[in-house]
Amino acid sequence: MPWLPVIHSPDEVLEFFRDQVLPSQTVIVADKLGQMAGFAAYTDGWLHHLYVAPDAWRGRVGSQLLHQVQAASNSLQLWTFQRNTTARAFYARFHFDEVEFTDGGRNEEKTPDVRMIWRRS
């Protein structure tokens, strides 16, 4: 997302995932021909991370990861940036509703965001 401010170095991101995400969240990794194509990290009804490598976009990797997380959950919440219309449309296809909009004052990027919720029917 070229419009998003860069606030952490690659080393800080690596440290965050190694020390915070991996020990405390369920992480699912998608493999495509021996390469990581994407991952999802979730816990306690929150989808914290869903990432798909650019060369795997439109290859159903994100859909497959999200289906796995939904299958293991009764409900999910997530935050995405308001400007990320691609992500918002993606989650809407999986029956996430937009329930809260903020000015971004509570996130590190200080970028307007939206909270979305999905509940098993």
Q: What is the pLDDT of residues 100-111, one digit of tens each?
A: 999 999 999 999
What's this model's pTM, rounded to 2 decimal places?
A: 0.92
Walk me through the domains of the chain, giving residue ranges and CATH numbers: 10-119 (3.40.630.30)
Host H or E run for residue 67? helix 61-71
Q: What digits encode the pLDDT tens for the residues 15-53?
A: 999 999 999 999 999 998 888 999 999 999 999 999 999
- In this structure, are strands 97-102 and 113-119 parallel, antiparallel, or unpaired? antiparallel
